[in-house]
Amino acid sequence: MSQDRTPRPAAVVVLAAGEGTRMRSATPKVLHAVGGRTLVSHAVAAAEQLHPEHLVVVVGHGRDAVQAHLAASAPSVQTAVQDEQRGTGHAVQCALAELPELTGTVVVTYGDVPLLTGETLRALVAARADEGNAVTVLTASLADPGGYGRVLRDADGSVVAIVEEKDATAEQRAVREINSGIYAFDIAALRDGLARITTDNSQGELYLTDVLGLARSDGKRVGALALDDRWQTEGVNDRVQLAALHRELNRRTVEHWMRAGVTVIDPATTWVDVDVTLEPDVLLEPNVLLRGATRVAGGAQVGPNCTLVDTSVGAGAVLTNTTSLGADVGPEATVGPYTYLRPGTRLGRGAKVGGFVEMKAAVVGDGSKVPHLSYVGDAEIGAGVNIGAATVFVNYDGVEKHRIVVGDHARVGSDTMLIAPVTIGDGAYTAAGSVITQDVPPGAMAVARGKQRNVEGWVERRRAGSPAAAAAAAARSRDGGGGPEAASGAAGGAGTDQADDTAYDDQGRPDR
């Protein structure tokens, strides 16, 4: 059956109430993430591709946290609470109790199978409808089926029963086809079976699998859809399985983008979240992590050693050794190495942000440069600007943040402190080493620094016997000069500030 003809299910039920004790975590199992999404969000995303009339997630352990997460990420999803963990059959009963009378198909899946796809769920729904089954179960064949319920088939291929491993005979345990726990039910057969199942088993629980046996004993057909891709049925029970599924999901994600025209130098060290978007001719160097809703346009080069989170990268941009959180890097911009872009940063076309630069809530105009060792926060920088090395945008007064504006084609000298709020006009300059506290008019040169004074002979007087004093004396001897007193006297005619008898400390401050 084609995708367009797949019947719309009446409901999808996602079972996500388990405690997940083997995760050994204060976080509910289904809120652990792979590929940038929580496990339960993967389950919801796959279910939503069926466009069901109702989508219900059954919660239990950590339900407040799970419900809050779903309310934020998938507000259209309903939740049902399973207060007491009495088995999968009981969990589905809890879900159906939240729904009106239904007709058609109900899909039951799990909140910890992140590689399950919407395409597979559509195939499962279509198989149930095409074959007229009371229920169709998704199965896979494993080399080591230990821990899974076994699927027992009749000679015609229909399913006779599903036996949990703890209740299986030795012969039944030898069966390699396993139950994924994912089903498409006819709602009438499901409701009838749930009303009749019992806790007569080793676990004392209500097994959803018993509904299949009851349907079979009533003369109804139970079918199976066998998957070649076992990963889609793999669930998460501990951190080891979580890591294995994350690795496999990432492998598939990276392979998808390579087939779509992205060059990945080293897939083994490249991690791409499922909500990332990449255009053809993007180049990803080794040790790149692309997370969240990051978007990279064609011709851009990212890496090596970049971590981009919720970042937009324009066409032809180049980023090296960069960490970026919520930034917008314009076309043909260059960033790095060792650069930190924080939320709200926007770089214009051809802008440059160089080594050891940090930016936050900063807008940088087309062609502007912040090449070295600077902090730029809460700023608006025009086009064609050059920010000298070691410039600091001093945006915080200890209580509030203030904004700094630098006009088009301005030049900010190295080691300038810009004290917010302040505006540097179009075409203005600031002298290196200045502390700018007042607005600079367009085209002006701002100089805000103390007059230099040379205290001649200070080292030989105050640091006698040191290597510095010896070097100074040797230099003076080579130059034909006299001792410190002579140098001090000669300097007086040059108009420099003199030490005379004043003593100064290492920072040039008068000793008290």
Query: Could you list the active site residues?
Result: 372
Structure token pair of residue 108 = 């039951």
Give Cβ neighbours of residue 506 (< 8 Å, ≥ 6 apart): none
User: Would you say the C-alpha torsion 65, 71, 77, 83 has a positive or negative sign?
Assistant: positive
Q: Minimal CA–CA distance to 378: which of 416, 345, 426?
A: 345
C-alpha 54: how far from its chain's center?
A: 30
Helix (H, G, I), strand (E, B) or coil at 223: strand
Contacts of residue 432, defined as CB under 8 A and 6 or more positions apart, other chains included, come to: 388, 413, 414, 415, 416
Burial 109-123 (b: 16+ CB within 10 A, else e): bbbbbbbbeeebbbb
Q: Tokens 């080579």 sit at which residue?
A: 478
Strand partners, 151: 162
Element (DSSP H or E) covering residue 272: strand 270-272
In this structure, which amino acid lies at residue 396? Y
Contact yes or no for 211/190 (Cβ under 8 A): yes
Which two three-digit tokens encode residue 424? 């540097």
What does 183-212 look like in DSSP terms, one character per residue? EEEEHHHHHHHHHH----STT-S--THHHH
The percent of the chain in helix, strand and coil, each rounded to the nearest 5, is 25, 30, 45
- Element at 313 (helix H, strand E): strand 312-313
Which residues make Cβ contacts (< 8 Å) with residue 507, sequence separation at least 6?
none
Locate 232 and state its tokens: 């889609």
Q: Tell me if 117 sits within 8 A of 249, measured CB to CB.
A: no
* Tokens at 147, concatenated: 């821990």
CA angle, 169 then 135 then 116, to 5° = 85
Phi/psi class of residue 35: alpha, beta or left (left: φ > 0; alpha: ψ in -120 to 50)?
A: left
Burial of residue 140 (CB within 10 Å: 0-12, 13-18, 19+) is buried
How far is Cα 420 from Cα 206, in angstroms, rounded to an integer? 67
**Residue 205 structure tokens:** 């629980």
**Which token pair is 125?**
């729904």
